[in-house]
Structure 1
Amino acid sequence: MISDKTIFKISKLFRLQWEPAQNAHVLLYPEGMVKLNDSAGEIMSRIDGEKNLNQIIGDIESHFKTEGLRDDVVSFIEIALNQGWIKSEVE
């Protein structure tokens, strides 16, 4: 269950980086690479093991000067959790 206080970190098997050749954020892992779209890259770049869900959403909404991104962020985080890209812990 994801709550507003849930903190996320990138799984140890993965490394997030900007890849100029792909012009995108990518997740590197021993068997290959996952190219992230712009939205996924923005979310993943804020997952640092310190910010909770509310802080991630607030940071993105502030950066893009918009509101109402919660459902999209939560949907992506659920996918990332299911893929094993990130881990969660409650604050």
Structure 2
Amino acid sequence: MTVEGATVLRLARGMRLREDATRARWVVIGPERLFVPDEIALEILRLLDGARSVDAIVDDLAARYDAPRPAIEADVLALLRDLAGRGVVAA
């Protein structure tokens, strides 16, 4: 799958973002998988709603953190491409 600015993503079928209250951390769980996102990945994953494009997510994060859009875009695309390759997110 190609992940570009216009791509609209969501968590893949069977994958869930959940708070693990016992360990005080967020996790992405799925069939025979567990992914513990860092703070940056967690912010990106929270914005994956199946309606927003990658560009909209980048715009949101760039505005929220007052950071250069190209830097945010590079990080977001790298993460989402990696997660798509692992089957964690899907279009």
Do the structures match in fold with TM over 0.5?
Answer: yes
Unaligned runs of 5+ in 2: none
Contact (CA 8 Å) 2:4, 2:77: kept in 1 or not? Answer: no
TM-score (norm 2): 0.85
Supply the AA of the counterpart residue of 1:11. Answer: A
Cα displacement string for residues 36-75 of structure 1 (whole angstroms, at most 9, x for unaligned residues) = 1111111111111000011010111122121231101100
Q: Name the structure 1 match of 2:35.
A: 34
Q: 1:74 maps to what in 2?
A: 77
More displaced, 71-80 or 60-69?
60-69
* RMSD of aligned residue pairs (Cα, Å): 1.5
Query: Quick check: which one's helix share is greater?
Result: 2
* Stretch deviating more after TM superposition (61-70 or 76-85): 61-70
Name whichever of 74-83 and 56-65 sits farther off.
56-65
| Matched-pair identity in % | 18
1:32 Cα deviation from its structure 2 partner: 4.4
Q: How many residues get paired?
A: 88
Aligned partner of 2:5 in structure 1 is: 4
Q: Which has the higher strand share?
A: 1
Q: TM-score, normalised by structure 1?
A: 0.85
Shift of 1:12: 1.3
**Residues 21 and 62 of structure 1, relative CA distance in 2, 3 Å threshold:** farther
